Amino acid sequence: MAVLRTLLAPLRALCRTLLDHWLDYRHVEAQQPVLDAKQPTLYVLPHPAFSDRLALELITRREGLPSARGSVALGETRLPACIALPRLSRGLTQVHGRRSPHLDTLLAQLADDPGQDIQLVPVSVFWGRAPGKDFGFWKLLAADSWQWSGRLRRLLSMAVNGKHVQIHIGAPLQLHTLVETRSLAVAQRKTARVLRVHFRRVRARVLGPDLSHRNTLIRGVVDSPQVRQAISDAATARGTSPERETRRALRYGREIASNTSYPVLRFLYQLLRRLWNRLYDGVTVNGLDDVKALAGDHELIYVPCHRSHIDYLLLSYALFREGLMPPHIAAGRNLDMPVIGGLLRRGGAFFLRRSFRDNRLYAAVFNEYVHRLISRGHPLEYFIEGGRSRTGRMLAPRPGMLAMTLRSFARDPRREVAFVPVYVGYEKVLESGSYLKELRGGHKKKESPFDLLRIVRRLRQSYGHVTVNVGEPLMLSGFVDRQVPDWRDNRRQTRPDWLNQAVPALGATLSQRINAAAAITPVSLVALGLLANSHHAIEADLLERHMRLLVDLRRHLPGGERITLPEGEPRDWIAHTAQLEFIERRQQALGELVLATPEQATLLTWYRNNVLHLFIDMALVAFAYRHNARFNTEELLTLLGPAWPVLAHEFHLPADAFAPRLERALAALVSEDLLIETDHGWERPAGHLASSEHLRLLGRLVQPTLERGYLLLAVLLREGSGTLTREALEEQSRQLAERLTLLSGLNAPEFFDKRLFSGLLDTLESQGWLWQENDKLCYDSSLENAQRRGQALFDPSLHHRLTQLVHRRSS
C-alpha cells in the first residue's frame, strides 16, 4: 500500500497543480461559518472522491482556512485533515450504513480525553451545478445530480466544470454531547446520521429533492385513499365503472404533473441569461440570503406578485443563478401549448385549470399532487392573485392554492412551511401594448406559440432594469397558531372549519408582505409626479424636485427595509424614462417641459400603481389640506379615520389603528416642510411657496380612490337602503366612473375597474357599514353621517361635479 501511495504521489501532485490553475468556485451558503484557527479542524465530505478532496485542499488554501491537506494531531493520534463518510450499502430491502474507521478513532479519542476539542466541519462540493458561461452537451453530461458519479464521469466533470464549482462549508459539529451520553457505537451511528442528514439537505437545496419517475408519482397520486374515494364517488354519480374513472384520474394526473429535467433547467438558464441580456439593462436580486438560510430545513413556497408572464421565468432564473433549486410552478392550463408547454413542464411547471369547482375528481387529483410535492420537500411557486394585474395594482388574493397548501400542511405538519413573498419590479413590461388594449375594453388575447416570434421582434428594444425583491418570509406553523390556536384538534378533517378564517388572513398577510418589498423605479417616480397634473404636463425642474421629495418622504417612514430606491439623480431618471418612450421632453423659452400623450399617460398609470401604496397614507393627509388650511389631531382622525380601512383594503396595507399611521405621516410631512407644526395642530404652507405645490401634487395621488368611494356611496344613498343588489350597485358605479373620466378629458380606464368597486364593497361590509338582506344592500344613518363628514375632503367645485353626475344619472 505504501508503495502504491509512493507511485501515485507524482500523479496527485500533477493533478493538484493543474486543478489549481483551472479551479474556480463560488459559495452556496449565505454566510460562511467562522472557524477557530486555534482548534484542530477536521473536514468531512459526503462520499469518498479524490476530486472533492483535491478541490477542498485548494479552496481552504485560497480562503485562508485551516488546511484540508495533511493530518491533524489529536493527542498521540493523527487523523487525515479531510475524511469522507463511507458509501451506503444497499441491500435488497434496506440501506445499511458502514462504519467509518476515522470517526471511530476520533470519537474514541474524545471519549478518552474530555478536554480535547475539535471542529468537525461538513463540506459539500458540486461540480457543474453552478451556472456556467456556456451551454453544451459535455457540461450537461458532467454536471452533478442525485446519482453519485463514477470515476470516469468525475474526471470528465473536473475537466469540463472546473470553472463552475459550488461549495458549501457547514457549521462545525459539536461531538462532546454525543460522546458523553452514549456508547461509542451509538455515538458513531448518531454522528454519521447527523452528517448524512446535513449533506442530504444541502444537496436538496442545491439540486432540488430527488425526483421520482413521473409515472410512478402519478400512479401514487391516483392510488392514494383520497383519490380512490373520489373515484368511487365519481363512478356512483356518473353511473360508470371505477376502472373508467381511474383512467380519467390518470389522464388528469398526466395533464397536471410536471416532468422536471435537470438538463432542461440548465438549458433554460442559459437561454434566459441570453434573453435577459438582450431585453434588460440588468436583473438585480435583493434579499435571497434569507431564503438560503431557510432552504434545506423548510418547505419553500414562493409567492410573487403577478405583473407579467416573465415573472416566473425571472424568479427561476434568479434562484438558479444564486445556487438554489428552481421551484415547481403552478401555471394556467392556457400555457400548456404545443412546444412551449412541454418545455415549461420540463422546467418545473405543473398545470391547473382555471376552475374545477364542479369536477371533484380533478380537484382530488390536483390536491393530492400538490400535497405530495409539499410533503417531499419540493419548492413551489404560485401566484396568489390568480391572473396578471392589468392595472399595476396588487390584486385581491384568491383562496384556491392557499387553501390547498393549508390542507396539505394540516395533514402533515412535521415539516415547516415557509412562504417567501417576492416583488418583481419592471421599468417596462413586455405586455404594455396588450394591457393598454384590455384597459380600453378589449378582450384578453389568447396565448399562442407564435407569441415567441413577437418576443424575438422586440429584442432590439430596451426594457430597462428589473428588480426582484424578496420580502419577509412567513412561517406557516406560527401563523396558523396565532390565527387558530386549537387547529391541531381537528386538523385531520378533509376541510377543517378553521380554513374559512385562516385562508383570507393568510392571503392578506402575504399581499402586504409583497407590497412591503416594492421596488421604486425611475419610471414609477415620473408617473407619480406627472400624472398628478390633470393635463399630464409639468415643468422639468418641478418634476425633479418632486421626485426627490417622494424618495426623501419614503425614507422617513419606518418599515421600508426591503423597499429599494433608485440610484442616481432625478434628472437622470427623467432621461431614462424618456429613453423608454414613456414621456416626451420639450424645450420651451421659460424652461424644459415634460409631457405625456394620452396613450403614454394610460401606460404610466400601470407603473404609478406599482408603488402608489407606499405613499397613500401621506397622500391622504395631504388631500385633507387641499380645501382646509389647518387641523388638529382629533379633527384629522375624525375626518380621515373612516377612509383608512377602505384604503388599506384597496392597497393591501395592514389595517391597524389609524392613529399611529397618522402620527408617522404627519412627522414625515413636517420633516420636508410640507406641513407646519403649531401649538394648535398642523397648517399647510402659504400658497405661493413651492412646498404648497408639492403638497397639492401629493394629495392628488389619493383623489381617484376617494372619488370612486364618493360615487359609490352617492349612488347607494340616492337609491335608498334595501333597494340595490351588490351587482347593480357595482355596475352603476362603474358606469358613472367611466362617464366622469370621459367628461374630464382623462384617458384613465383603470379608474372604472369593476374590481375596485367590488373591493370597496367588501371593506364596507366587513366594517359593518353595509349588510345584505334578501340580496339587497342595507345601511343605517351612520353611513349617511360618515358620507356627509367626508364631503369636507372635497373642494366645492369637485363636490358639485360629483353630485351633479350622480343626480343626472338617476334622473
* C-alpha cell read off for 326: 428552481
Q: What is the CA angle 377-378-382, rounded to 5?
A: 125
For 509-540, the pLDDT digits (tens) are: 999 999 999 999 999 999 999 999 878 899 99
Confidence check: pLDDT of 134 > 70: no
* C-alpha cell read off for 552: 426623501
Cα 324 from chain centroid? 14
Predicted pLDDT at 182: 59
* C-alpha cell read off for 72: 491533524
pLDDT > 70: percent of the chain? 82
* C-alpha cell read off for 732: 352603476
For 667-706, the pLDDT digits (tens) are: 999 999 999 998 888 999 988 888 899 999 999 999 888 8
Residue 284's CB is within 10 A of a number of other CB atoms, namely 15
Q: Dump strand ranges (E) for 92-244.
A: 95-96, 119-127, 165-169
Predicted pLDDT at 455: 58
Confidence check: pLDDT of 341 > 70: yes
First vs last C-alpha separation in the chain = 104
Rounded CA-CA distance 632/6 in Å is 89
Cα 253 from chain centroid? 27
Give the mean pLDDT of 130-141: 41
pLDDT band, residue 490 (cuts 50/70/90): low
Strand pairing of 349-352 and 465-470?
unpaired
Give the mean pLDDT of 407-428: 90
Confidence check: pLDDT of 118 > 70: yes
Give the mean pLDDT of 775-790: 85
pLDDT > 90: percent of the chain? 29
Helix (H) or strand (E) run with residue 286 in it: strand 282-286
Give the mean pLDDT of 51-61: 80
Helix (H) or strand (E) run with residue 599 in it: helix 598-611
Predicted pLDDT at 9: 61
Model confidence, pTM: 0.77
Confidence check: pLDDT of 156 > 50: yes
AA letter at 714: A
**Sign of torsion, CA 313 315 319 324?**
negative
298 has which bridge partners?
295
CATH of domain 214-515: 3.40.1130
From the candidate CATH numbers 1.20.59.10, 1.10.10.10, 3.40.50.300, 3.40.50.970, the one assigned to the domain spanning 520-602: 1.10.10.10
Rounded CA-CA distance 356/362 in Å is 7
